[in-house]
Amino acid sequence: MLSGITVQVPAKVNLGLNVLPKRADGYHNIESIFQTINLCDTITVLLDEKQNSCCIACEELDLPLNNTISSTYKAFCQLTGCTAGVKVNLTKRIPSGGGLGGGSADAAYFLKALAYLTGVKLTDSLADGVASQVGSDVFFFLHSGESEGKTGSAIVTGRGEFVKPIRPRNDLFFVLVFPGVHSSTKEAYELVDKAYSNNQKVICPKISELEAVYNRPVKEWTFANTFTSVLVQKYTVIGDALEDIRKSGALWSDMSGSGATVFGVYESEQSAKKACEQLHKSWSHCVLVT
């Protein structure tokens, strides 16, 4: 068995996110296209045969004792009988709680590294068994088709557990803006539920149309995010950031996931770079990614 491995962990953006009304079990189905971007955390995993525990170090973030990596380790050991301990060094670049899937991505890529180091075959059954105990977005990062140097894109449905990879577009240039507010996923869903109870509904493409919309010229996209309008009503700074992105020449803009990161899509790397420089004058935390 190898003693250590370092992996790059990509974030994701949502291109459209239709949140359906609450199910009988209290959860929500979604319909969305997820795409990986080259904003990455870095995870180094070292085997520690002397103890069967997961020790995590992260300078950028004060991780809670129970986090997506520790939960992944616990689920993996329960499902496989593995007793190997690990030391994990996590370098965070993906903003926590920004709708970019950072915690879920960390879990998925840690799982891949853990299986590789321990010599355990990561079957779909095992991967999904772990993901079901950790978080819905983990499924995408396990099955997106992303690999080093290759973008992963997929249509994601159910609670997030149904992932259908599609041919990714590599001609998309994004500028992300982090408006400085944090909305929990729980709060975002509660706001959507309230909107539904008031008969407020966002018009989104049908699930059967998602891939066709994705493949259109960006300026013809009709994607929408159910979370955007309700969060803009509560946090006006999100709307301010979106307006500035539109003024910067974006062909399309929206919020990712349940927020609060917003982004624009541009026709070229040059136009995205120019927009990022312009946006940086008003928003200290913005970045160009592909």
Residue 36: which H helix or E strand, with range?
Answer: strand 28-48
* 12 catalytic per annotation: yes
CB 188 within 8 A of CB 258: yes
Q: Which long-range contacts (CB under 8 A, 24 or more apart) does 281-284 make?
A: 282/244, 283/177, 283/178, 283/179, 283/241, 283/244
Residues whose CB falls within 8 Å of the CB of residue 38, separated by 6 or more in sequence, listed in order: 10, 289, 290
**Lookup: tokens for 263:** 């982004």
CB 229 within 8 A of CB 192: no
CB 120 within 8 A of CB 75: no
Active-site annotation holder among 92, 106, 112, 137: 137
C-alpha dist (Å) from residue 252 to 134, 153, 219, 265, 266 = 32, 18, 6, 5, 7
Active-site annotation holder among 12, 92, 112, 244: 12
Handedness of CA 18, 19, 23, 25 (dihedral sign): positive
Q: Strand pairing partners for 36?
A: 12
* 92 catalytic per annotation: no
Cα separation, 95 vs 263, whole angstroms:
14
Residues tagged active-site: 12, 137
